[in-house]
Amino acid sequence: MFPKPKIHPLLLCCIVGLLHAAPAPAAELTVLSTPEARDALEQLAPAYEKSAGHRLRLTFAPAAELQQRITAGARFDVAILPAPVVTTLSRPPLLRERRDLARAGMGVAVRAGTPRPAPRNAAQLRELLLGAGTIATARAGACGERFLLLLENLGVAEQVAPKLLDTRDAPIELLAAGRADLAIALAGEIAAHPGVTLLAPWPPEVQCYQTMAGALSAHTRQRAAARALLRFIAAEADAGALRSHGQEPLAERSN
């Protein structure tokens, strides 16, 4: 029987130290987001992956579809969604550690390359709506209801109502397909679509804003990495990285 080899205490300490010093394995984080944040996230992703050493898997879909997926038990780590959806999904809770990131105003879109004067005030917006053919819009949600109220306040509800093409899908898809002359949608969503152009945001006196928020999945297995990603996105939002993509950083409003 051979004697048991002995490990010198100093060598044992070195081995333990090396094990503790070993870097944490890279994580792959799944991010669910609505399309209006697509360009911004795709721009920020390489910087995050380089600095954190983690990989991002980005998935984009309309808010209603993502809400259904999350409710049905989809696996993900971070979600970027309209604030009311985050509030709803935080009650079971399916989402945690919410951070409000930016807000996006509503805008008027035309097909790319279509020449048309941009409305600068409510009166010009009124004339634009009256002169348009079909107008694609989504009536669901706070801003959809606000648009209908806007038509009432402008005194054009009866004239414009027959022109409205209501859809549960993104109105800009109908516009890009040539089924509408104008589309009413979030400015960030318009900016993210290559086939359409943001003609103008709604004038300030009638503008409706939607806040975008980020949150962690209540069931993420990568909580530390997901939390760090959400902090990174929030910091970039505060730095104004989202402004070029139709988003208004919330930090700028508090200054």
pLDDT of residue 21: 43
Domain coordinates in residue numbering, the chain: 27-103+210-253, 104-209
Task: Please say if the pLDDT value at position 194 is more than 70.
Answer: yes
Residue 100: pLDDT band (50, 70, 90) is: very high
CA dihedral 118, 122, 128, 134 (to 10 degrees): 120
The CATH class for the domain spanning 27-103+210-253 reads alpha beta
Residues 196-249: pLDDT tens digits?
Answer: 999 999 998 888 888 889 999 999 999 999 999 999 988 876 565 666 566 676
Amino acid at 197: T
Q: Domain 104-209, CATH 2.40.50.100 — does that match?
A: no
Bridging pattern class, strands 55-60 and 28-33: parallel
Question: What is the helix (H) or strand (E) element at residue 10, kind and residue range?
Answer: helix 9-21
Residues 21-32: pLDDT tens digits?
Answer: 445 567 899 999
For the chain, percent of residues with pLDDT exceeding 90: 49
Shared fold status for 27-103+210-253 and 104-209: yes
Task: Please say if the pLDDT value at position 252 is more than 50.
Answer: no
Task: Please say if the pLDDT value at position 119 is more than 90.
Answer: yes
